[in-house]
Amino acid sequence: MTHKRARYSATLLHHLHALFFAHTGYVPLTFLVCTIDCLLTASIIRFVPYTEIDFQTYLQQAQLFLDGERTYTYIDPPNGTGPCVYPAGHLYAYAILDHLTDHGAYLLPAQVTFGILYISTLFLVSQLYRLAKAPPILILFLAFSKRLHSIYLLRLFNDPLSIFFMYLCMYLLCCRRWKAACISYSLALSIKMNALLYLPGLLVILFRAIGATSTMLHVGVIVGGTQGILGLPFILRDPQAYVSNAFDFSRMFLFKWTVNWRFLGEKIFSHPATSKVLLGLHVFILCVFGVHQWTNISKEGWKWVSSRWKGDSHPMTASFIVRVLCTSNLIGMTFARSLHYQFYSWYAFQLPLLTWSTTWSLPLRYVARVTNKCSIAIPVIIEWSWNVFPSTTLSSISLFLAHTMLLIGLWTRRARTPMHIN
């Protein structure tokens, strides 16, 4: 009897190990997580009260556009939260939602749409994890975020729309569909400027894959051309008004809504020098990762650049592509002066993969090693920081330290893995 129990236990452990760590585990775990989260999403829509913040303003902006307004300065609905400060794709998306909700009278169609968007994004991200050869167990950590469900289902912000196209861009890059990836990236950018945080990583990947000339053509013609086509109705009417409003780099977010850098205090936070210092740190860390992590310029110098001027002879793995893009985004978020609560959607789905990619996460050969305290603590601290409302000195400094630990872990990973197989 004891022998049978031992054999049964061994068999069970074998199947669990295969489920959580073998490539075959992706199908059942993805199905399980998506199914459970579908039920959770439906329950939230049914039982949790909706909170109005910007959705009605977005619909009013879309209504002005549908009524024929093409001067961006005048897309400023009365009694709203302000003029349109997003590119044209934002207006097109919310024009559709305006139709579905009968001008905002019925919220359920919009919530269902965002629920479908959430599950679709969850599924797409799970495929990215599969392509990156991350252990399937990480899929379990993608769902069930309180703040993320709130952003998608109870606030109806435009951030989830932008990030969906960004994940689609990542997937297409992993499939080596460079043109389609650039179109998807431009669609993400057409909804919200946060997609620019991925641009340094995207440029590195395109340069390594297709060379300098093709990279410039893809970014200039495909990305720029898509932006031009989407913004054409407004550019023809008043190009200066469109560009200055839709791509306003001088916007100052309010201290009262920030999740990060609150520990600096409002006086230092609002000082013009603070933004310059943070921008400098942002560029510096990007350059450090670009020179030492994403390329071999630190060792080979200009020789590395010239040898890959027409593309890299060593194909990049999906793991490398995803990690470069997610790291580029993380660096931008770390040194952004202000992060509002909806901005959590910019990287929430990336945190398990980023944590697994660091030196803080031990090799996942045994179940026990998954519970490494540091690797678990980082995403938990980040999730907690984004759920503290209003943010506090403790939550903001905790968020900064967690971001810093992630970046340190990603930086030191190079010692473990040679660049050419990343």
The tens digit of pLDDT for each residue in 146-160 reads 999 999 999 999 999
Query: Where is mean pLDDT largest: 90-104, 243-257, 300-314?
Result: 90-104
Distance separating alpha carbons of residues 139 and 221, to the nearest angstrom: 36
Average pLDDT over residues 190-212: 95
Using left for φ > 0, alpha for ψ between -120 and 50, and beta otherwise, residue 145 falls in beta
- Confidence bin at 421 (pLDDT 50/70/90): very low
pLDDT over 60 at 201, yes or no: yes
pLDDT over 50 at 367, yes or no: no
Q: What is the pLDDT of residue 419?
A: 41
pTM assigned to the model: 0.92
- Which of 354, 293, 321, 314 lies closest to 174, judged by CA? 321
Average pLDDT over residues 300-315: 77
Residue for token digits 């936070």? 269
Average pLDDT over residues 121-140: 94
Q: What is the pLDDT of residue 20?
A: 77
Q: Where are the domains of the chain?
A: 2-421
> H/E/C letters for each residue in 349-388?
HHHHHHHHHCCCCCCCCCHHHHCCHHHHHHHHHHHHHHHC
Give me the percent of the chain exceeding a pLDDT of 90.
Answer: 69
Helix, strand, coil share of the chain (percent; to 5): 75, 0, 25
* Contact yes or no for 205/198 (Cβ under 8 A): no
Q: What is the pLDDT of residue 359?
A: 64
Could you tell me which residue, 22 or 263, shows the higher pLDDT?
A: 263
Mean pLDDT, the chain, rounded, equals: 88
Average pLDDT over residues 379-407: 93
Q: What is the pLDDT of residue 313?
A: 62
Q: What is the pLDDT of residue 418?
A: 38
- Which of 34, 33, 134, 144 lies closest to 355, judged by CA? 134
Average pLDDT over residues 145-174: 96
- Confidence bin at 302 (pLDDT 50/70/90): confident
Q: What is the pLDDT of residue 6?
A: 67
Could you tell me which residue, 181 or 2, shows the higher pLDDT?
A: 181
pLDDT over 90 at 82, yes or no: no
Coil, strand or helix: which one is 226?
Answer: helix
Q: What is the pLDDT of residue 370?
A: 42
Average pLDDT over residues 113-117: 97
Q: What is the pLDDT of residue 368?
A: 36
Q: What is the pLDDT of residue 300?
A: 82
Coil, strand or helix: which one is 149?
Answer: helix
Residue 51 token pair: 């909170």
Q: What is the pLDDT of residue 369?
A: 43
- What is the amino acid identity at position 114? F
Could you tell me which residue, 316 or 412, shows the higher pLDDT?
A: 316
Average pLDDT over residues 41-54: 94
